[in-house]
Structure 1
Amino acid sequence: MRRVAVIGTGVIGASWAAHFLAHGLDVVASDPAPGAEARLRADVAAIWPTLAPIDGASPDRLTFTADAAEAVADADFVQENGPEREEVKDALFAVLDTAARPEVVLASSSSGLLPSVIARGCPEHPERVVIGHPFNPPHLIPLVEVVPGEKTAEKTVETAMAFYAGVGKRPIRLRQELPGHVANRLQAALWQEAYSLVERGVATVADIDTAITHGPGLRWAVLGPFLTQHLSGGPGGIAHVLEHLGPPTEAWWRDLGQVTLTRELVETLVAGVDEELAGIDRAELVAHRDAVLTALLAAKARTELP
């Protein structure tokens, strides 16, 4: 594949575009919003220094059109990043389905919508629709969740998995479609308890961020929750952990908080983040995040297990 269409050029779309360009692909981007092209080119230019482009890669291989049909007409792969609303997806995918060649995969970056729902907008070729959900920022975070729908062809899944792997991603295939897929559901479970702990006054927003970034988050970035748990069991591994710590863990589950995002709780969370940042602006925070992620990914690549 040489030419990728990026449909929708907000935060996720711009990051995808930069990533594809850095891997030597031609990118044609489309977004109907006024000023979208200028913003996209500025975003790609800002991202470019954080990347390690392959030989021949260049931001100059980016083209833009406001017409989504024109963007996908000659594309070999389509990455859609439109608003997370069913009616918008339906209208957009109807255009993409008509304009793209029948064999071209239409992958959506949707963070929560089901692929079967999105595919309803494709009356001609629903079999080529799949979720290809990245994590922000896609130009740095390797994970992509590939989720087929009821009518998705096996060849579509195989093509998407191979494509993402070929541009340096770590794709996983889901065996069932669920709202929020896998990683967002795991995050949502943690957020539920984090919000509850703040609401109950157990810890501050900053305390909880510290607890994760200087505690389990470090281990999860290396091995994930299951292998981390396995190592905590010593020679007996995860079997020992489940036998001896399973019952108290179940008791904790029963005690986890159930929260509603009331106006008061939202205001508390926002105020907590403002206090934690203490005058650090967004650009500085993003630069810090990207620098640490880049160093972490480089360390993981150097030390990855066979």
Structure 2
Amino acid sequence: MPEPQDVTTVACVGAGVIGGGWAAHFLARGYRVRAWDPAPGAAERLGRLVEAAWPALTELGLADGASRDNLTVLPTLAEAVEGAGFVQESAPEDLAVKRSLLAGIDEVTPADVVIASSTSGYGMSEMQTEATTPERLVVGHPFNPPYLIPLVEVAGGTRTEPWAVEWASEFYRRVGKSVITMDHELPGFIANRLQEALWREALHMVANGEATVEQIDTAITDGPGLRWPVHGPCLTFHLAGGEGGMAHMLDHFGPSLRAPWTRLDAPELTQRLRDDMVAGCESEAGERSIADLVAERDRAIIAVQRAVEASRGRRGE
């Protein structure tokens, strides 16, 4: 099978918003992209998607040899995967469609080529049921737009071999992605579950007349959202404990988990959960002290605020 660094051609199956975003990203990283989508007018829409993404990609910096001319839209699935060292499937979120399409890709793609699905919720175990060689099928879940948001969550199914997950994770890293290689299948994956919890609470507050849409958005953009780009929710609460870190935070604020602040049931704060959270924060922090993390957070918040203000200023011109 090809090594991740030896891949020069990628097949994008499905050319909607996500598939088109993937195509733009791979093109910007210097790959040749072969695309296929059965929908009428797909080639024209894909061209417009790539064209719209190209200014942002150019500002970020294009790889050597990157060109929109490296995009080819093929009339059949078999032609699209021909010569590709990796396949990214981005069909609509319909389980029957996913199963059938992945089986079709599997049938016409050499057995040593990894096939990844952009699904945002289905587990690979439930999608790979009709494939002949399911061991090379993985989930490669991106975030929209895939050409700008770096995160990709990679997971296999019950019939996926570990080598395929490892190969896909390494390939995504080589194309500039931030990769979470998941240890277990989890419905909705990690990031979707987190943003879904926030989204559901927002809907509850609007439905009950407790907050307006604008108030909810401002609460995030001018509140915790400024901290999350650098530390995320766990290290953010680690700093909330002061010099005592996550241990002090949980010991001090742990009882508030039982307060009816949200519509979600809180897990029991067992000793094991407490210890896992403390150990996780210590591991993520590494050699950075609380003071180091505070300084890092403050620099990042200032940078984010200045960047947002500059963007708003350009928008108002």
TM category (shorter chain) comes to: 0.7 to 0.9
Deviates more, 1:6-15 or 1:70-79: 70-79
Secondary structure of the residue aligned to 1:5 is strand
Equivalent position to 1:22, from 2, 20, 28: 28
Q: Which residue of 2 aligns with 1:42?
A: 48
Runs of 4+ more than 3 Å apart: none
Letter matched to residue 143 of structure 1: L
Q: Determine the structure 1 residue equivalent to 2:71.
A: 62
| Counterpart in the other structure of 1:127 | 135
Q: Is the 8 A contact 2:139 2:153 kept in 1?
A: yes
User: Is the contact between residue 5 and residue 27 of structure 1 (CA under 8 Å) also seen in structure 2?
Assistant: yes
Alignment partner of 1:214 is 2:199: no
Q: Could you tell me how far 1:95 is from its partner in structure 2?
A: 1.1
Q: Of 157, 171, 176, which aligns to 1:163?
A: 171
SS in 1 for 2:12: strand
Deviation at 1:141, TM superposition (A): 0.4
Alignment partners' CA distance in 1, 2:97 and 2:155: 20
- How far apart, in 2, do the equivalents of 1:121 and 1:73 lie? 21
Q: Gapped runs of 5+ residues in structure 1? A: 259-291, 297-306
Asked if 2 retains the 8 angstrom alpha-carbon contact of 1:92 and 1:121, the reply is no
- In structure 1, the residue matched to 2:263 is 256
Counterpart of 2:151, as a letter, is: L
- CA–CA separation in structure 1 for the residues paired with 2:244 and 2:205: 33
Deviation at 1:257, TM superposition (A): 6.5
Letter in 2 for 1:101: P
Partner of 2:93: helix, strand, or coil? coil
Change (3 A) 1:17 1:231: same
CA contact (8 A) 1:89 1:121 kept: no
- How many residue pairs get matched? 260
Deviation of 1:252 (Å)? 3.5
C-alpha separation in 2, matches of 1:97 and 1:126: 8
Map residues 179-190 of structure 1 onto 2, 5 A cutoff: 179-190=187-198
Show the counterpart of 2:108: 99
AA aligned to 1:153 is E
Residue by residue over 1:232-261, the C-alpha shift from the partner in whole angstroms, topping out at 9 and shown as x without a partner, is 1110001111000011133236x5269xxx
Q: Which residue of structure 1 lines up, in the alignment, with residue 241 of structure 2?
A: 233
CA contact (8 A) 1:134 1:144 kept: yes
1:205 equivalent to 2:217? Answer: no
Q: Does 1:173 align with 2:185?
A: no
In 1: Cα distance, 2:106 partner to 2:168 partner: 17
Q: Are 2:115 and 1:109 equivalent residues in the alignment?
A: no
SS in 1 for 2:38: coil
Contiguous gaps of at least 5 residues in structure 2: 1-6, 266-303, 309-317
2 CA distance for matches of 1:235 and 1:8? 50
2:89 to 74, 80, 90: 80
Q: Cα deviation per residue 1:172-195 (whole Å; 9 max; x = unaligned)? A: 011111221111011111111111
Letter in 2 for 1:232: A
Give the TM-score taking structure 2 as reference length.
0.79
Q: Is the 8 A contact 2:114 2:168 kept in 1?
A: yes
- Letter of the 2:64 counterpart: D
Cα distance, 1:68 vs. partner? 1.4
SS at match of 2:139: strand
CA distance in 1, matches of 2:214, 2:225: 15
Q: Which residue of 1 aligns with 2:286?
A: none
Report the identity percentage. Answer: 55
Alignment partner, residue 265 of structure 1: none
Residues 96-125 of structure 1 show CA distances to partners (whole Å, capped at 9, x for unaligned) of 011111011110000001101111121x21
- Residues of 2 paired with 1:54 and 1:181: CA distance? 30
Q: Is the 8 A contact 1:102 1:125 kept in 2?
A: yes
What code does the residue aligned with 2:10 have? V
Q: Is the 8 A contact 1:192 1:257 kept in 2?
A: no
Code of the aligned partner of 1:77: F
**Which one-letter code corresponds to 2:73 in the other structure?**
F
